[in-house]
Amino acid sequence: MTTRSNSRNGPRIHGGSGRWDPGAVVRTGIARRYRSDLYLFFLDASWPRLIAVFGLLYVLANAAFAVVYVLGGDSIENARPGSFTDAFFFSVQTMATIGFGKMVPRTGLANVLVTIESLIGLLGLAIATGLVFAKFSRPTARVLFSRVAVISSWDGVRSLMFRMANERDNRIIEAQVHVVLIRTEATAENVPVRRVHDLALLRNNNPSFALSWTAVHPINERSPLWGATPASLAANDDEIVVSLTGLDETYSQTIHARHAYAADEIICGARFVDILTRLPDGRMRIDYGHFHDIVPAQSQTERNDREHPAES
């Protein structure tokens, strides 16, 4: 996840994927409850980080029990006295309930430790299984957003446009798009605040989102972008935040995707390259290789520079 920065207001809270970036905000005056947020941390962590944390905790737990076994003297039968290595691998066998049978607890202290470690191993396995299942089964959206948004004429009206595509081969049923403009404004007392303005679209829903969808916001007198220029967008630190929700027809669960466009990612006087064509056999062809490409609006003919705002 990345953050964008500028000279006025520092790093942005949304990355290129439109996800919240907690590292872009410095929180003070409130106690951080790390332990109560461990579930959220593990559920939101990437798979490599989750596996690395589990592996580290597993090694540390076995090492801690190995130290106690060693301090307990000759407490493990068939293990070398004082050997941390033998004690460590005996701990691994106990915690994982493997029990090869070569090394067994010899003393009462060792049996107590084995009982405690077995219980901890069972609880740890249950927690890890629950986290992995919750993370694996959580539905995710594979929605591709154009890298930039453009402002140009649409049906004779100056409009803001960006496009989306479903990267999967299935459909998103009853897809809904909500677009807002976040900008820095001043109150009547000249206090700077970040305000959120809804941007109305020509079409904000799609009953069956499968291929490409270009969202169009007409910039008329009622639009917060009325009279906006590249300079004013940058001066107000404008940011367009897009939120898409819908029902995945394969999982039959609600999915969502988000994306954000900074002021420097809103290009005036440009249009997207057409990516939908019909093949001779009647099938539709979508070229994702040119999904992010734009061209100057004045260089296209009226027939070639228009892409349907809903899926074709």
Every domain of the chain and the residues it spans: 36-137, 143-299
The residue ranking higher by pLDDT, 12 or 94, is 94
CB atoms near residue 227 (< 10 Å): 9
Please name which of 265, 247, 267 lies closest in space to residue 256, comparing C-alpha atoms: 247
- Mean pLDDT of all residues in the chain? 83
Band (213; pLDDT cuts 50, 70, 90): very high
Bridge partners of residue 197, in order along the sequence: 181
Q: What are the phi and psi torsion angles at 224 (to 5°)? A: -65, -15
- Winning range, highest mean pLDDT, from 136-140, 153-157, 216-220, 232-236: 216-220
pLDDT at residue 171 above 50? yes
β-partners of residue 77 are: 104
Asked if residues 239 and 11 have their Cβ atoms less than 8 Å apart, the reply is no
Q: What is the distance between the alpha carbons of residues 98 and 73, in angstroms, rounded to a whole number?
A: 23
Q: Is the pLDDT of residue 34 over 90?
A: no
Res 1: pLDDT: 32
E strands in the chain: 76-77, 104-105, 143-145, 149-154, 157-166, 172-186, 192-198, 205-209, 212-218, 239-248, 253-262, 266-268, 270-272, 276-278, 284-286, 294-296
Average pLDDT (201-212) is 91
pLDDT class of 186 with cuts at 50, 70, 90: confident
Residue in the block written with tokens 């580290």: 56
Q: Please give the pLDDT value at position 45.
A: 84
The DSSP bridge partners found for residue 246 are 255
- CA–CA dist 301, 66 (Å, integer): 75
195 or 303, greater pLDDT = 195
User: Per residue in 282-305, pLDDT tens?
Assistant: 888 888 889 999 999 864 444 443
**Residue-level pLDDT at 136:** 81
Task: Average the pLDDT over each of 51-55, 145-149, 185-189 and give the range with the smallest value.
Answer: 185-189
- Work out the pLDDT band at 35, boundaries 50, 70, 90: low
> What class is the 143-299 domain?
mainly beta
Provide the pLDDT for residue 39: 78
Count of alpha carbons within 13 Å of 163, Cβ hemisphere only? 27
Q: Do domains 36-137 and 143-299 have the same CATH topology?
A: no
For 312, the token pair is: 């074709």
Q: At 306, which amino acid appears?
A: R
241-294: pLDDT as tens digits: 999 999 988 878 889 999 999 999 999 999 999 888 888 888 888 888 899 999
Q: Which CATH number fits domain 36-137: 2.30.30.40, 3.30.43.10, 1.10.287.70, 3.40.50.2000?
A: 1.10.287.70
Cα–Cα distance measured from residue 267 to residue 10, given in angstroms and rounded to the nearest whole number: 22
**Residue pLDDT, tens place only, 102-151:** 899 989 999 999 999 999 999 999 989 988 888 887 777 889 999 999 99
Q: Does 201 have pLDDT greater than 60?
A: yes
Residue 241 has a pLDDT of 95
Query: Residue 4 pLDDT more than 70?
Result: no
Distances (CA, A) of 279 to 114, 210, 286, 308: 68, 17, 10, 18
What angle, 0 to 180 degrees and rounded to 10, lies between the N-to-C axes of helices 108-137 and 47-71? 180
Instruction: Report d(CA 153, CA 218) in Å as an integer.
Output: 9
Residue 187 — very low, low, confident or very high, per pLDDT cuts 50/70/90? confident
pLDDT of residue 251: 78
How far apart CA 122 and CA 120 sit, in angstroms, is: 5
Whole-number Å distance between alpha carbons of 114 and 77:
13
What confidence score (pLDDT) does residue 292 get?
Answer: 93
Higher-confidence position of 261 and 210: 261
Instruction: Give residue 36's identity as a one-letter amino acid code.
Output: S
Contacts of 94 (CB under 8 A, 6+ apart): 65, 114, 117, 118, 121
